[in-house]
Amino acid sequence: MRHLKKAELLGSTVLTLKDGGEDDPNDIVTKAIGDLTETVNKRLEEIEKKTDTTRIEERLDKIEAKSNRAKGGDDDPDEQAEIERKAFAVYLRRGRETPDEEVKALTVSNDPQAGYLAPAEMSTEFVRDLVEFSPIRSVASVRGITGPSVKYPKRTGVTNAQWEGETEEAEESTVTFGQLEVAPHKLTTFVDISNELLSDSGGTAEAEVRMALAEDFGQKEGVAFVNGTGAGQPEGLMTHTGIGEWLNGHATNLSADQLIKLMYDLPAAYRNNGTWMMNGTTLGIVRTLKDGDGRFLWQPSYQAGQPETILGRPVVEAVDMPDLEANAFPILYGDFSAYRIVDRLAISILSDPYTQARKGVTRIHATRRVGGRVLQAARFRKLKMATS
């Protein structure tokens, strides 16, 4: 709407005061103001008629509808996810040169140097892939979080239930509650993908990137879940000082009796939910052990999806566990629900097509956050080999 000058609004209306007439000057002024007001109102009505507000509103409605379709709309999350997936595929290939319309479909990472978050579907599939390279995930208690950390109640001692007479005074319980904080730690890596592979539009490139990252991240976190210090990385099961030990009695030899004793050193409530953990070398030796009736302690899985067992309980092979050697802790048994893994599910991706451009590859930088900590050491026992 253009601005109108006062003269255009007033038109030919002129305020005239007569000198020396019989008319009352007040009446003349009042009438002139009334005429002026009427003229202005008529001119404003004419201007409003010339401005077709209905057509403008219709155009705005069409633009809004088109925008909703581009984003998938609130009622079609599958379409929105597909748009985000396609936009992410473009970003992997083109990095910062990704067109603006594709960038709008991506989620910016909180880390200013980490680019964009991988689509939720890719992040979920990535976590499933991790289990192949980080086997403790298959038995531990895993939680996804969105905050910087999560706190869990920690109980020390037990309540003091007792039988008492009607006139006897009950003794106080000594149980107390504290808090354990499990914080995810930052883990970064990168993978180089050929530009030829990235140009594939069938989803192969995204799958290759996801699997490559899962292998690297899985191996790194697998080491930490076993031997991590807890300082800037997850706390490992084997480094937690509160886990009880069972002495093997020999520096290198392993017997069926010691495994049975180790298992039954745990209270039944924890023992019945227990899982063995050892590396492949140790597992190979355990598979040769027999009980007093000549039956192997180890039994294969007779059903798809079911684990092999030792003394009737499942076993997890962790490559980072130590071998059978003097003063080592080669075997752990316990209820792994007492080991908590926390994931910040989103993966931040930064595509760099420039650094390795001469080699015809694009470097994909990835950042994720994961933490781990023992919540109840009493649910585990580890086998201690003799010093000599």
Domains of the chain: 98-154+175-232+342-371 (3.30.2400), 243-339+375-384 (3.30.2320.10)
What's the rounded mean pLDDT across residues 1-28? 55
In this predicted structure, what is the pLDDT of residue 56? 60
Please tell me which of 270-279, 290-299, 301-310 the model is most confident about, judged by mean pLDDT: 270-279
In this predicted structure, what is the pLDDT of residue 304? 77
Contact 362, 193 (CB under 8 A): yes
Tokens standing for residue 97: 């040169």
Tokens standing for residue 332: 């752990």
CA-based nearest residue to 245, from 267, 265, 269: 265
Residue 16 pLDDT exceeds 60: no
Q: Rounded CA gap, 352 and 342, in Å?
A: 29
Tokens standing for residue 205: 């490139």
In this predicted structure, what is the pLDDT of residue 48? 64
Contact 356, 100 (CB under 8 A): no
In this predicted structure, what is the pLDDT of residue 171? 66
Confidence of residue 148 (pLDDT cuts 50, 70, 90): confident
Between 68 and 289, the higher pLDDT residue: 289
C-alpha distances in Å from residue 300, one per residue of 31, 58, 259, 305, 316: 108, 70, 18, 12, 13
Q: Rounded CA gap, 333 and 278, in Å?
A: 9
Residue 354 pLDDT exceeds 70: yes
Ramachandran bin of 339, using left for φ above 0, alpha for ψ from -120 to 50, beta for the remaining angles: beta
Q: Rounded CA gap, 99 and 82, in Å?
A: 17
Residue 14 pLDDT exceeds 60: no
Please give the model's pTM, rounded to 2 decimal places.
0.72
In this predicted structure, what is the pLDDT of residue 110? 67
Q: Rounded CA gap, 352 and 350, in Å?
A: 6
What's the rounded mean pLDDT across residues 122-138? 89
Residue 60 pLDDT exceeds 70: no
What's the rounded mean pLDDT across residues 27-54? 72
In terms of C-beta density within 10 A (0-12 exposed, 13-18 middle, 19 or more buried), how is residue 22 classed?
exposed
What's the rounded mean pLDDT across residues 368-381? 95
